[in-house]
Each structure stands twice: as structure tokens, then as C-alpha cells.
């Protein structure tokens, strides 16, 4: 099963932002993913128009897709634009849970955003997540916007997802299997461990951030990118793809 992950599209009314998204989707189309997840920050300005344009492009992929909000998304307008697809009935939280390929794998999207803030907080959605992960469902891939693990990039962890220890506990104590957690937000691909499982961060569709670690930094030359998660025989392998 192939799950494609996009993150941080940051549509804002310009042609450039949508052209970057088009490049990524054009690369992805021949792969025919079984599902697509978008881990937040779909739009940062002109939200109503931007969500309409992003939704049209995601639907053109002809695969089930699932989204969660990021810190620059507008919950009210996101509910209006996507609520019919995910049976959302209230502005917060905008969580999703689905089985895009039957009982092979479940995708669970957590809305960990905090109104008016750049950091996240998992604690308000942990009861919902615990219920999902103790329902006897298939193995789950959890996706969210803000990272619940330290990313190591100078200055970026001030906008981490709070409640990481509590989130890890829910995952570790769950009856159902959780194969991995993945996120976005920092505009750089990363790989680590969280709750004794693989944890990843997708590259951004929008402009990447500098890699700045221990006071040392690189320039920015990253094109838009995505993650490809391949799940087979109980194992998840994740691939980074940069689309020049």
C-alpha cells in the first residue's frame, strides 16, 4: 500500500504556490498512490479561494485524500471547504480517521493546532485518539501538523507540539497497532523515533527552511517535495522525493 504525504502547501492566492503543488502532483500521478495525506498549512492567505483551488487539485489525483489543519490554516473556512468529505460538524478539532484500502491500514489525522498560536498541543485530542486506537481497527499511521519530538533545528522547537509525553503514552498503551507517526510544520524532511516507533516529517511544498543546527546553517536550495510511505507485510518504508 502506498500513502503519499504532502505538507505545508501555503497557498495564498499566487500562481507560484499552486505551480509548486502542481509539480508535486504531476510527479505523483503515475505512482497511483492508494491514499494521500496532507499534514497541515494548506493555505496561509485568501483562504476561501485557496482551499477551493487546493481541493480541486487534490481531487484530480483520483485517490482518497485526507487533511488536517496547520497553524496558518483557518478552521472555519477549512470546515466549509472540506467538511463534507470528512463529516466535520464543528470547527475544532478537525480530526480524521479512515481506512482508504479496507483493513490493510488506517490513517488517523490529529488536529493539534492551538487557536492563535504557532505551537501545537496534543492533549485536547488524546481522549478521541485513545478511543480510536482501542476500537479493534487495523494498523494505524498517525499524521498531524506540529512535531511532538524535538527537531534539533535552532529556534524551531519553540513551536513544537506540546503534550508529547502524553501522546506517546496513548500510542504505547493502545490496543491497536500504531506503525508510525508523521508530521510537517518545519519545512524539512526528518526521521527519528517517537513512542518507540518510526517518526517522520515531510518536506514542504512551499519554500524550505534553512537547516540550522548548533549555530551552523546551510543555504536553501531545496525544491518542493513529499514523502512516499510504502506499507507491506507489516513493515513501513518511507521515501523522500524532491521534485525539481
- pLDDT score recorded for residue 102: 80
User: Is 220's pLDDT higher than 80?
Assistant: no
Q: pLDDT tens digits for 182-203?
A: 999 999 999 999 999 999 999 9
Residue 37 near residue 7 (C-beta atoms within 8 A):
no
User: Is 221's pLDDT higher than 80?
Assistant: no
Domain count, the chain: 1
CATH of the domain at 211: 3.60.21.10
Q: Give the three cell numbers for residue 183.
A: 508530521
- pTM, entire model: 0.96
**Can you list the pairs that 173-178 forms with residues at least 24 positions away whose Cβ atoms lie under 8 Å?**
174/130, 174/133, 174/134, 175/133, 175/134, 175/136, 176/106, 176/132, 176/133, 176/134, 176/135, 176/136, 176/137, 176/138, 176/139, 176/140, 177/138, 177/139, 177/140, 178/133, 178/139, 178/140, 178/141, 178/142
Beta strands at 140-143 and 178-183: parallel, antiparallel or unpaired: parallel
Q: pLDDT tens digits for 115-152?
A: 999 999 999 999 999 999 999 999 999 999 999 999 99
Beta strands at 235-242 and 225-232: parallel, antiparallel or unpaired: antiparallel
pLDDT band at 103 (very low <50, low <70, confident <90, very high): confident
- pLDDT score recorded for residue 191: 97
Domain that holds residue 31: 2-242
Distance between CA atoms of 153 and 186, rounded to whole angstroms? 9
- pLDDT score recorded for residue 217: 87
- pLDDT score recorded for residue 161: 98
Amino acid at each position: 500500500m502506498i500513502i503519499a504525504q504532502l505538507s505545508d502547501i501555503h497557498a495564498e492566492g499566487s500562481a507560484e504556490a499552486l505551480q509548486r503543488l502542481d509539480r508535486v502532483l504531476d510527479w505523483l500521478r503515475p505512482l497511483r498512490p492508494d491514499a494521500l495525506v496532507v499534514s497541515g498549512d494548506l493555505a496561509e492567505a485568501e483562504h476561501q479561494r485557496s482551499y477551493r483551488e487546493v481541493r480541486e487539485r487534490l481531487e484530480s489525483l483520483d485517490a482518497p485524500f485526507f487533511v488536517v489543519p496547520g497553524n496558518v490554516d483557518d478552521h472555519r473556512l477549512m470546515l466549509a471547504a472540506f467538511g463534507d468529505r470528512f463529516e466535520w460538524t464543528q470547527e475544532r478539532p478537525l480530526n480524521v480517521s479512515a481506512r482508504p484500502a479496507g483493513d490493510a491500514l488506517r490513517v488517523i489525522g490529529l488536529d493539534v493546532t492551538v487557536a492563535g498560536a504557532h505551537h501545537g498541543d496534543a492533549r485536547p485530542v488524546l481522549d478521541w485518539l485513545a478511543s480510536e486506537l482501542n476500537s479493534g481497527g487495523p494498523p494505524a499511521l498517525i499524521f498531524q501538523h506540529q512535531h511532538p519530538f524535538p527537531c534539533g533545528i535552532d529556534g524551531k522547537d519553540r513551536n513544537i507540539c506540546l503534550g508529547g509525553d502524553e501522546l506517546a503514552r496513548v500510542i504505547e498503551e493502545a490496543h491497536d497497532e500504531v506503525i508510525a507517526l508523521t508530521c510537517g510544520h518545519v519545512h524539512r524532511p526528518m526521521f527519528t523515533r517517537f513512542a518507540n516507533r518510526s517518526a517522520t516529517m515531510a518536506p514542504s511544498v512551499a519554500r524550505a527552511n534553512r537547516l540550522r543546527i548548533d549555530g551552523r546553517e546551510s543555504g536553501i536550495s531545496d525544491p518542493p517535495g513529499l514523502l512516499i510511505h510504502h506499507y507491506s507485510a507489516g513493515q513501513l518504508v518511507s521515501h523522500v522525493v524532491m521534485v525539481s
